[in-house]
Amino acid sequence: MKKHPCIISNSTICQSYKYRFPYDLIYRANFKKMNFQAKNLYQCKKCSIIYLRSGNLKKELDNLYFGKKYASLRKNYNIKYKNIGGQKFSKYKDLAEIIKKKTDSSTTKILDIGCYDGSLLKELSKKIKNCQFHGCDIGPNTKKLFIKNCKFKFWDNLTLIKEKFDLITCVNTLQYVPNPKIFIKNIKNLLEKNGKIFFLTLNLSTNPYSITYGDQYYHFTENNLGNLLIGNDLSGKIISNNKSFPRNLISIVKKIKKKKKYRFLKSEKIFYLFQYLKNAENKMAKLKQIENNKNIYIFGSTANSVFVFKSLKKQKIKIDNFIDENPKKINTLFYGKKIISLPRAKKNSILILPYGKTNKNIYLKLKKKYNFNFFRV
């Protein structure tokens, strides 16, 4: 059998847990089903990193991210709107605020890896003055979208950059690189002596549904991300409970000056994550008994929502609509169902909240304003 060494602990595939994935893997970018030669997930017994191995994964991802459609897939990422708590929400504006608090006045040069059109850099430029802003992303179509301003510089290849930076940001990038060890080594070489790296990744612990995201190589929990960072001589704080990004891990790290001995932390096993999804399916089966004469809605148009929709369809339970806060999505179709706003939903209907351990916060906010029969999975 071909061996795939773990990129953190150097363990081979024989020293890893192997799981045949029982559900459809979907693109997080466009929520469509992925087609794989194999659907095997592995988890290293030493460092607990969870990684996907498939014969045509790289080919599928290259077709997606180097293709012309990739640009249009992210056009709604920086939409500003009021969320269910009545607060104004803008992903990159909120991120820029978090990053600003972690930087100091000596920051004069920032690099954003996976920058897309430069939205985060644009927000950072409003908060951090007298600074040069660089962005790096793959694909020939991304450069066309990048900010046209002499203060912003675009790179399409990380290895071509020879400059040093006070701050390097990687927002939802780390899980998409084939070898994080080489990636981290490359970006460490681009850091100034006291430079910092800002990572934002998905948090598998608070959102078990993200295990179904097939367009990424790795899945992170607080502990296995910590293992990756410390294993690559980076130290710092990992935040798992940020109010604006409750389903993400945020880490701000620096290079370790002296290497230290460390022991890998244990993380959740994939088996328990699969069990969470199985329990969610069993819970949704109960809707069959209470669906009579009630409208059923799914909150959000995300990969989580897709999992719930497919599970209900398999059990022959029909939903009426998806509900979303993003005004750009209202009246568009998602898996053949119209997306509507919260005020348009019928009272006393069933509203399914598919957001794992962060469901409670969403539920409490919605409960104050809307009269639904909430169903949390």
User: Which amino acid, one-letter code, is at 189?
Assistant: N
* Whether 250 and 309 share a structural domain: no
- CA–chain centroid gap for 289, Å, is 34
* Whether 99 and 231 share a structural domain: yes
* Whether 318 and 247 share a structural domain: no
pLDDT digits 0-9 by tens, 289-331: 776 678 999 999 988 999 999 999 999 999 999 999 888 899 9
* Whether 250 and 168 share a structural domain: yes
17 domain residue, yes or no? no
**DSSP secondary structure, 150-193, as one string:** TTEEEES-GGG----EEEEEEES-GGGSS-HHHHHHHHHTTEEE
301 domain residue, yes or no? yes
What phi and psi, each to the nearest 5 degrees, are found at residue 309? -60, -45
Range of the domain at 101: 69-255
Question: Above 80 in pLDDT, residue 344?
Answer: yes
- Averaged pLDDT, 274-284: 92
**CA dihedral for 92, 96, 102, 104, sign (positive or negative):** positive
* Whether 249 and 292 share a structural domain: no
Nearest to 24 by CA among 311, 268, 249: 311
Per-residue tokens: 65: 């991210």
* Whether 107 and 170 share a structural domain: yes
The most confident of 33-42, 133-142, 253-262, 335-344, by mean pLDDT: 335-344
Per-residue tokens: 87: 């607060």
Task: Specify the pLDDT at position 1.
Answer: 41
Q: What is the mean pLDDT of the chain?
A: 86
Task: Specify the pLDDT at position 14.
Answer: 56
Picking from 255, 273, 299, the residue at the C-terminal end of a domain is 255
> Where residue 24 falls among pLDDT bands split at 50, 70, 90?
confident
* Whether 232 and 329 share a structural domain: no
pLDDT digits 0-9 by tens, 68-114: 666 666 555 555 555 555 566 678 999 999 999 988 888 999 999 99
Task: Specify the pLDDT at position 62.
Answer: 78
Question: Above 50 in pLDDT, residue 332?
Answer: yes
43 domain residue, yes or no? no
- Averaged pLDDT, 175-188: 92
- Averaged pLDDT, 265-287: 88
Buried b (16+ CB within 10 A) or exposed e, 112-137: bbbbbbbbbbbbbbeebeebbbbbbb
User: For residue 334, how many other CB atoms are within 10 A of its CB?
Assistant: 19
254 versus 106: the higher-pLDDT residue is 254
User: For residue 104, how many other CB atoms are within 10 A of its CB?
Assistant: 9
20 domain residue, yes or no? no
Q: Are 292 and 271 in contact (CB under 8 A)?
A: no
> Where residue 281 falls among pLDDT bands split at 50, 70, 90?
very high
Nearest to 41 by CA among 29, 30, 27, 57: 57
* Whether 292 and 251 share a structural domain: no
Q: Are 63 and 73 in contact (CB under 8 A)?
A: no
- Domains identified in the chain, total number: 2
> Where residue 268 falls among pLDDT bands split at 50, 70, 90?
confident
326 versus 201: the higher-pLDDT residue is 201
Task: Specify the pLDDT at position 306.
Answer: 93
* Whether 298 and 249 share a structural domain: no
d(CA 16, CA 14): 5
Picking from 255, 276, 311, the residue at the C-terminal end of a domain is 255
User: Which amino acid, one-letter code, is at 350?
Assistant: I
173 domain residue, yes or no? yes
99 domain residue, yes or no? yes
> Where residue 28 falls among pLDDT bands split at 50, 70, 90?
confident
* Whether 371 and 231 share a structural domain: no
- Averaged pLDDT, 5-10: 67
User: Which amino acid, one-letter code, is at 336?
Assistant: G
Complete edge-to-edge strand list for the sheet that includes strand 248-255 = 152-155, 132-136, 109-113, 165-171, 191-202, 248-255, 234-239
CATH of the domain at 350: 3.40.50.20
Please give, one letter per residue, the 3-state secondary structure of 3-18: CCCCCCCCCCHHHEEE
| Predicted structure pTM score | 0.91
* Whether 147 and 215 share a structural domain: yes
Query: How many helices and strands (H and E) does the chain possess?
Result: 11, 19
pLDDT digits 0-9 by tens, 147-161: 988 889 999 999 999
In the three-class reduction of DSSP (H, G, I as helix; E, B as strand; rest coil), residue 346 is classed as coil
HSE-up of residue 271 (Cα within 13 Å, Cβ side): 3
Long-range pairs, 100-106, Cβ under 8 A, ≥24: 100/124, 100/127, 100/128, 102/196, 102/198, 102/252, 103/128, 103/166, 103/167, 103/196, 106/166
d(CA 307, CA 210): 10
Burial class from Cβ neighbours inside 10 Å (0-12, 13-18, 19+) for residue 159 reads exposed
β pairing state of 234-239 and 296-299: unpaired
Q: Widest CA span of the chain, in angstroms?
A: 66
For residue 215, give the DSSP letter.
S
For residue 227, give the DSSP letter.
H
* Whether 173 and 82 share a structural domain: yes
User: For residue 228, how many other CB atoms are within 10 A of its CB?
Assistant: 26
5 domain residue, yes or no? no
Task: Specify the pLDDT at position 3.
Answer: 55
